[in-house]
């Protein structure tokens, strides 16, 4: 109540102020946060290592934010409120959690309970939420919509308290004001925040976080008051939940919630003007309640979504909100077709909408800048736009819209030329690749019946003292030690030659093989020491890909990945290795050192697509099939080299699952087909494995079954084998390796613990189908943990074998 009274004071005054602030003609929804040289990453990591003070960290963070804001303005996005203040140090969902005071009960000690900062969490405290401490697990982390960015999952129950503590946002606004600019603070909206939260599990009755909306809204009201008082003219409220289908919520639930939330916020008297954003897809029928709510601007993702005829009416009536048109793709690295985008914008304006130009999503999903990527082929480079170049595209389009296309003639020409060269460039269309794909027959994705394969494999792998019951194995990688990274770097820098580097890798493989023999594992691996990354290594050895020098993209917290760029038709004839198998030499070397079977290790087509920037000039399904054919060659070469077990990892199968339920069956069809195209050419006696590291399958479980691998390893240790009920529900009847060691933690599982897990696995899986392995690869573990854990795994397996 108090707030409400407070908010009505000064209404008249503020209404006038607000009216003068038109929405900027050009904006970006967000901008990369780690800094062009990952300065924030380094600052965070030294701070966590206690080598940097609180003050120094804040200073470093402020530096990154200030130079990002300056850069955005320099690129032409420079009107008041055009620069978004959304520079989370770790994660923007975490920042929103802190701003609304939704600190989970198990972290309540981190919340100050007196003074002006009542209800708030310090920076140090927020890192404990993100990273845990000795006593507790951090908040769970999961993928943000269908991107490779991970957010921290809020935990909300009936008792969770909310209180406004938007200090970060307020000081961002104040700081910018001191530097003479007006930024637009950005916060995850109440509906999306709750839709992405999970039940904190404290109450006996299950809680649906979205049911807490009424309690949360007044806190947003208070935040808006504080932002207004700090000088914000516009606030950005992000509601991407409206573009997705959720297992635990109906469309009706979301409709009711978004209608209520937006009309409530719009109805407040004391607030900045509001922009509601709907990135990552198509809001469909949920766009209408947002546009009718009374907020002053609505963003629409026009790359993934569209405005159908009647939806255009939402923006063309008297009193309609500004249409913030997301025409520049924030998700991918291709240069915008400026001509097409400008025509689209002009048509929207022609129809009567007040149009502003924007990105389709935040730019956190693309690298900073093309500056410094001079090693890229100049033609390829001319097709690309990273965050800086996209920011400039937004400004260019706004200029063209305001002053006519003559004002941007040169830019339109450059864009048109890039488009034209791309259509004709060698490599974009490779006749041989296309012909080969056309010649594929339905039979090329089919293997013999599982039972026939099983018998054939028993003869080749299990025959003459072959594999025992409950075979033990690992997922592929062994620890990537400092020595491994150093050698790779030295080779890249040219300080050691190819011969010495190869010798190093062979020595590494020999050590990994003898360690596995000593430990008594049944199916060995070569350890993947030659791979910097499970996708980039393939990108470097296939045609149709390029890799960047500095194209880092935040994955979570201080972590970033460097996705490869898939620009052309894919085949296995890369420069330097023309037509040669590139994994075979390492894997057959490993096999030459031991009598036990060595498992060949490849990355699957869907995962290669998911972790790269992929061309958009043809359907993903077609690109996936090209990758599948390149992998098919490698699979056959491994088989020909005498490798009898071949694993094709698909950890990203679930990640590309479309946000809308209706699109999912079509996706699973092509994704499964591509995997089968890669793996179905082998003989019956060759055993195909796959690996997927998550322990909740939901809708993908049908797809996982359809991959038709002889053995599937999954993550199961953390969920204590609960996932197996899911797996059994689809009648899964081939080999299964539920992980018995949670490799995400430095903890060594005891023999007893593994024995217990195996015993409960046997409740769901027949003994002759059960494999024993860790949850995932061992790349991030050290040798001490690895040796002890694997020794326990082998010992526990021995005990269980005696009982069955």
Q: Of residues 595-614, which lie at the interface with ligand GLN (CB under 6 A)?
A: 601
The alpha carbon of 206 is separated from its chain's Cα centroid by a whole number of angstroms, namely: 29
The minimum distance between CB 476 and Zn ion, in angstroms, equals 8
Q: For ligand GLN, which residue of 476, 568, 685, 739 counts as binding (CB under 6 A)?
A: 476
The alpha carbon of 375 is separated from its chain's Cα centroid by a whole number of angstroms, namely: 27
The minimum distance between CB 739 and Zn ion, in angstroms, equals 9
Q: Collapsing DSSP states into helix, strand and coil, what is residue 565?
A: strand
| Tally of residues, the chain | 804
Non-local (6+) Cβ contacts of 230 within 8 A are 170, 173, 174, 177
- Contact between 210 and ligand GLN by CB under 6 A: the answer reads no
One of 4, 167, 429, 744 is an active-site residue; which one? 744
The minimum distance between CB 235 and Zn ion, in angstroms, equals 40
Half-sphere exposure of 195 (CA within 13 A, CB side): 27
Binding track over 777-796 against ligand GLN, x by CB under 6 A: x-x-----------------
Among residues 651 and 735, whose Cβ is nearest to Zn ion? 651
Among residues 243 and 776, whose Cβ is nearest to Zn ion? 776
- Contact between 629 and ligand GLN by CB under 6 A: the answer reads no
Q: CB of 712 within 8 A of CB of 703?
A: no
- Contact between 525 and Zn ion by CB under 5 A: the answer reads no
Q: Where does this chain touch ligand GLN (CB under 6 A) — which range of 251-259, 417-425, 475-483, 750-758?
A: 475-483
Residue found by looking up tokens 């190093």 in the block: 504
Instruction: Find the radius of gyration of the CA atoms of the chain.
Output: 27
The minimum distance between CB 717 and Zn ion, in angstroms, equals 12
The minimum distance between CB 527 and ligand GLN, in angstroms, equals 9
Find which of ligand GLN, Zn ion, none residue 376 binds, CB within 5 to 8 Å per kind: none
| Residue 600, Cβ density class (10 Å: 0-12 exposed, 13-18 middle, ≥19 buried) | buried
Q: CB of 480 within 8 A of CB of 783?
A: no
Q: CB of 173 within 8 A of CB of 231?
A: yes
- Contact between 716 and ligand GLN by CB under 6 A: the answer reads no
Give the containing element (helix H, strand E) for 172. helix 167-178
Q: CB of 394 within 8 A of CB of 329?
A: no
- Contact between 57 and ligand GLN by CB under 6 A: the answer reads no
Among residues 72 and 693, whose Cβ is nearest to ligand GLN? 693
Question: Token digits for 224?
Answer: 């808006």
- CB-based closest residue to ligand GLN: 777
Among residues 553 and 776, whose Cβ is nearest to Zn ion? 776
Among residues 237 and 693, whose Cβ is nearest to Zn ion? 693
Instruction: Tell which residue, 582, 545, 334, 537, has the closest CA to residue 430.
Output: 545
Among residues 181 and 477, whose Cβ is nearest to ligand GLN? 477
Among residues 408 and 693, whose Cβ is nearest to ligand GLN? 693
Please tell me the distance from the alpha carbon of residue 748 to that of residue 759, in angstroms, as a whole number: 19
Parallel, antiparallel or unpaired: strands 612-614 and 564-571: parallel
Q: For Zn ion, which residue of 170, 237, 776, 778 counts as binding (CB under 5 A)?
A: 776
Give the containing element (helix H, strand E) for 612. strand 612-614
Find which of ligand GLN, Zn ion, none residue 304 binds, CB within 5 to 8 Å per kind: none
Q: Where does this chain touch Zn ion (CB under 5 A) — which range of 83-91, 255-263, 648-656, 731-739?
A: 648-656
Q: What is the greatest pairwise CA distance in the chain?
A: 89
Please tell me the distance from the alpha carbon of residue 356 to that of residue 92, in angstroms, as a whole number: 24
Non-local (6+) Cβ contacts of 127 within 8 A are 48, 90
Q: For Zn ion, which residue of 24, 166, 330, 651 counts as binding (CB under 5 A)?
A: 651
DSSP class of residue 461 equals: I
Among residues 553 and 601, whose Cβ is nearest to ligand GLN? 601
Among residues 128 and 529, whose Cβ is nearest to ligand GLN? 529
Q: For ligand GLN, which residue of 651, 685, 735, 739 counts as binding (CB under 6 A)?
A: 651
Question: Token digits for 551?
Answer: 């194209």
The minimum distance between CB 466 and ligand GLN, in angstroms, equals 23
- Contact between 714 and Zn ion by CB under 5 A: the answer reads no
Find which of ligand GLN, Zn ion, none residue 321 binds, CB within 5 to 8 Å per kind: none
608-634 core/surface letters (b: 16 or more CB in 10 A; e: else): bbbbbbbbeeeebeebbbbbbbbbbbb
Q: For Zn ion, which residue of 88, 102, 693, 724 counts as binding (CB under 5 A)?
A: 693
Please tell me the distance from the alpha carbon of residue 441 to that of residue 271, in angstroms, as a whole number: 62
Please tell me the distance from the alpha carbon of residue 227 to that of residue 208, in angstroms, as a whole number: 29
The minimum distance between CB 719 and Zn ion, in angstroms, equals 15
The minimum distance between CB 480 and ligand GLN, in angstroms, equals 9
Q: Where does this chain touch ligand GLN (CB under 6 A) — which range of 26-34, 420-428, 473-481, 733-741?
A: 473-481
The minimum distance between CB 355 and ligand GLN, in angstroms, equals 43
Non-local (6+) Cβ contacts of 45 within 8 A are 558
Q: CB of 35 within 8 A of CB of 76?
A: no
The minimum distance between CB 715 and ligand GLN, in angstroms, equals 9
Number of shown-chain residues binding ligand GLN (CB under 6 A) = 13
Q: For ligand GLN, which residue of 41, 632, 691, 764 counts as binding (CB under 6 A)?
A: 691
Binding track over 751-780 against ligand GLN, x by CB under 6 A: -------------------------xx-x-
The minimum distance between CB 714 and Zn ion, in angstroms, equals 9
Beta bridge pairs of residue 287:
none
Give the containing element (helix H, strand E) for 714. strand 711-714
Q: For ligand GLN, which residue of 79, 239, 522, 649 counts as binding (CB under 6 A)?
A: 649
- Contact between 574 and ligand GLN by CB under 6 A: the answer reads no
The minimum distance between CB 777 and ligand GLN, in angstroms, equals 2
DSSP class of residue 593 equals: T
Find which of Zn ion, ligand GLN, none residue 601 binds, CB within 5 to 8 Å per kind: ligand GLN
Count of C-beta atoms within a 10 Å radius of residue 486:
12
Among residues 239 and 528, whose Cβ is nearest to ligand GLN? 528
Annotated active-site residue 744? The verdict is: yes
Find which of ligand GLN, Zn ion, none residue 244 binds, CB within 5 to 8 Å per kind: none
Find which of ligand GLN, Zn ion, none residue 476 binds, CB within 5 to 8 Å per kind: ligand GLN
Please tell me the distance from the alpha carbon of residue 625 to that of residue 605, in angstroms, as a whole number: 8
Find which of Zn ion, ligand GLN, none residue 71 binds, CB within 5 to 8 Å per kind: none
| 733 backbone dihedrals φ, ψ, rounded to 5° | -135, 30
Strand ranges for 258-338 from DSSP E: 273-277, 297-301, 322-328
Alpha carbon distances (Å) from 47 to 29, 127, 131, 604? 28, 11, 13, 37
Among residues 380 and 693, whose Cβ is nearest to ligand GLN? 693
Among residues 370 and 693, whose Cβ is nearest to Zn ion? 693
Q: Where does this chain touch Zn ion (CB under 5 A) — which range of 207-215, 284-292, 372-380, 691-699?
A: 691-699
Sheet holding 612-614: strands in order across? Answer: 543-546, 564-571, 612-614
Please tell me the distance from the alpha carbon of residue 418 to that of residue 683, in angstroms, as a whole number: 45
- CB-based closest residue to Zn ion: 693
Half-sphere exposure of 416 (CA within 13 A, CB side): 9
- Contact between 534 and ligand GLN by CB under 6 A: the answer reads yes
Find which of Zn ion, ligand GLN, none residue 645 binds, CB within 5 to 8 Å per kind: none
Annotated catalytic residues are 744
The residues binding Zn ion (CB under 5 A) are 651, 693, 776
Which residues form the interface with ligand GLN (CB under 6 A)? Answer: 475-477, 528, 534, 601, 649, 651, 691, 693, 776-777, 779
């Amino acid at each position: 109540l108090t707030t409400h009274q407070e908010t009505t004071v000064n209404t008249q005054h503020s209404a006038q102020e607000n009216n003068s602030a038109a929405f900027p003609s050009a904006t970006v929804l967000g901008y990369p946060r780690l800094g062009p040289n990952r300065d924030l990453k380094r600052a965070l990591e030294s701070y966590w290592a206690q080598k940097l003070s609180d003050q120094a960290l804040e200073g470093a963070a402020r530096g990154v934010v200030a130079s990002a804001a300056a850069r955005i303005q320099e690129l032409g996005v420079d009107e008041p409120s055009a620069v978004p203040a959304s520079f989370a140090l770790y994660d923007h969902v975490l920042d929103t959690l802190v701003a609304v005071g939704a600190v989970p009960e198990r972290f309540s000690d981190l919340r100050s309970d007196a003074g002006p900062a009542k209800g708030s969490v310090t920076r140090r405290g927020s890192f404990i939420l993100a990273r845990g401490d000795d006593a507790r697990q951090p908040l769970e982390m999961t993928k943000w919509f269908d991107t490779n960015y991970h957010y921290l999952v809020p935990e909300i129950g009936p008792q969770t308290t909310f209180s406004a503590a938007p200090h970060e946002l307020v000081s961002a606004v104040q700081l910018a004001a001191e530097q003479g600019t007006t930024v637009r603070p950005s916060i995850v909206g109440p509906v999306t925040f709750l839709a992405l939260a999970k039940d904190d599990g404290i109450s006996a009755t299950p809680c649906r976080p979205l049911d807490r909306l009424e309690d949360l809204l007044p806190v947003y009201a208070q935040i808006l008051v504080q932002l207004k008082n700090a000088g914000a003219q516009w606030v950005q409220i992000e509601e991407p939940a409206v573009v997705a289908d959720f297992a635990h919520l109906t469309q009706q639930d979301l409709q009711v919630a978004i209608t209520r939330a937006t009309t409530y916020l719009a109805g407040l008297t004391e607030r900045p003007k509001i922009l509601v954003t709907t990135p990552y897809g198509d809001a469909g029928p949920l766009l209408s309640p947002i546009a009718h709510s009374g907020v002053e601007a609505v963003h629409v993702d026009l790359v993934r979504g569209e405005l159908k005829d009647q939806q255009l009416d939402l923006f063309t009536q008297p009193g309609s909100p500004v249409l913030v048109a997301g025409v520049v793709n924030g998700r991918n690295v291709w240069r915008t077709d400026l001509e097409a985008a400008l025509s689209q914008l002009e048509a929207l304006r022609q129809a009567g909408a007040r149009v502003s130009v924007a990105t389709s999503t935040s730019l956190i999903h693309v690298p900073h800048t093309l500056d410094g990527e001079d090693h890229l082929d100049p033609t390829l480079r001319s097709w690309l736009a990273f965050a800086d170049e996209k920011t400039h595209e937004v400004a260019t389009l706004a200029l063209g819209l305001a002053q006519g296309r003559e004002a941007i003639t040169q830019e339109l020409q450059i864009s048109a030329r890039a488009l034209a060269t791309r259509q004709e460039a060698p490599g974009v269309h490779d006749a041989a690749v296309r012909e080969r794909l056309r010649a594929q027959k339905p039979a090329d994705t089919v293997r013999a019946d599982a039972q026939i394969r099983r018998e054939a494999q028993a003869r080749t792998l299990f025959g003459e003292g072959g594999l025992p019951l409950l075979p033990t194995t690992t997922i592929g990688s062994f620890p990537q030690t400092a020595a491994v990274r150093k050698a790779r770097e030295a080779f890249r820098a040219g300080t050691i030659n190819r011969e010495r580097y190869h010798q190093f890798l062979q020595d590494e493989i020999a050590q990994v093989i003898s360690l596995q023999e000593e430990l008594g594992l049944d199916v060995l691996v070569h350890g993947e020491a030659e791979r910097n990354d499970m996708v980039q290594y393939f990108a470097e050895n296939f045609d149709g890909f390029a890799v960047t020098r500095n194209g880092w993209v935040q994955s979570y917290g201080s972590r970033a990945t460097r996705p490869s760029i898939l620009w052309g038709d894919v085949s296995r004839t890369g420069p330097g290795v023309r037509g040669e198998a590139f994994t075979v030499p390492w894997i057959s070397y490993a096999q030459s050192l031991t009598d036990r079977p060595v498992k060949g290790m490849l990355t699957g087509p869907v995962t290669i697509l998911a972790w790269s920037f992929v061309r958009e000039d043809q359907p993903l399904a077609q690109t996936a099939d090209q990758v599948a054919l390149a992998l098919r060659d490698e699979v056959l070469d491994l088989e020909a080299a005498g490798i009898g077990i071949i694993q094709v990892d698909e950890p990203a199968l679930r990640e590309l699952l479309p946000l809308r339920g209706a699109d999912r069956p079509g996706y699973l069809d092509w994704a499964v087909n591509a995997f089968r195209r890669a793996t179905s050419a082998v003989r019956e006696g060759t055993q195909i494995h796959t690996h997927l590291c998550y322990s909740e399958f939901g809708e993908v479980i049908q797809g996982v079954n359809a991959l038709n691998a002889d053995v599937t390893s999954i993550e199961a240790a953390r969920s204590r084998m609960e996932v197996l009920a899911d797996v059994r529900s689809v009648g899964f009847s081939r080999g299964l390796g539920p992980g018995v060691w949670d490799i995400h933690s430095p903890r060594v599982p005891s023999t007893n613990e593994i024995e217990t897990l195996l015993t409960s696995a046997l409740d769901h899986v027949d003994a002759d189908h059960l494999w024993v392995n860790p949850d995932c690869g061992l790349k991030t573990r050290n040798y001490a943990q690895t040796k002890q854990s694997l020794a326990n795994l082998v010992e526990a397996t021995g005990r269980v074998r005696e009982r069955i």
